[in-house]
Amino acid sequence: MFGGRVPAGATVTWVLVGLNVLCYLVEWAYPRIVNYFDMIGAAYDPSIHQTVGVAHDQWYRLLTSAFLHEPGLGGFGPAHIIFNMWALILVGPALERMLGRVRFLAVYLLSALGGSVLYYLFASPNQSALGASGAIFGLFGAWFVLARRLRLDSRSIVFLIVLNLAISFAVPSIAWQDHIGGLITGAVVTAAYAYAPRRHRALVQGGATLIVLALLVIGVITRNSELVASGFR
């Protein structure tokens, strides 16, 4: 419908679910892995005796943190990954069929990255975060855009977005920046895919993808400079 090949199944969705579950099982077996791959701007980690963070050239944390969830039984416990995977299974297959595998994966990964970048920009640099929520909110944003584009009833997804945003701001331990960043990124990228003109569609969609990625990189570089100037590095 929007330029991609119609997949026979929801392969990408189930691979993403499998990766998240696999990482969660690894966390149970080796909890310290969270210290190496969670989202953190700049901080000294006494557990590994190192200064870590995106500001210390560990850019991979922007994406790896989206495949980790709160380990153990403390805090939200297993509810964290259960909700995120439920949401992914709820909206992922339909979005994958409408967008095609490549575009769907691009929306998911860019949304995860967008959530981490906004968190990096506005949260305390020594406060860690993890979870697929940014990517999930990106899929919510994608679903809303496609519903509007296809003139479908969007009330259910609007309710889901508003409810989860309300929870994000009501619960202090939730990284609302990650949710907002993922939501905006997913909506913007999907809008570029859904409203691209039929002529040169792939070129417009690819260009929009690169522009969004470039803006996110600029955001990270800008934040790095701020932290260096303030002495966090």
Residue from 179, 200, 225, 230 carrying the catalytic annotation: 179
Count of other CB atoms within 10 angstroms of residue 34 = 20
Question: Which long-range CB contacts under 8 A does 145-148 form with residues at least 24 apart?
Answer: 145/187, 145/190, 145/191, 145/194, 146/95, 146/98, 146/99, 146/190, 146/194
Residue 179 is among the residues annotated as catalytic for this protein: yes
Q: Catalytic pick from 116, 128, 133, 168?
A: 133
**Alpha-carbon gap, residue 221 to 208, rounded angstroms:** 20
**How many Å apart are CA 175 and CA 192, to the nearest integer?**
27
User: Is-catalytic flag, 116?
Assistant: no
Half-sphere exposure of 158 (CA within 13 A, CB side): 7
Q: Which residues are catalytic?
A: 133, 179
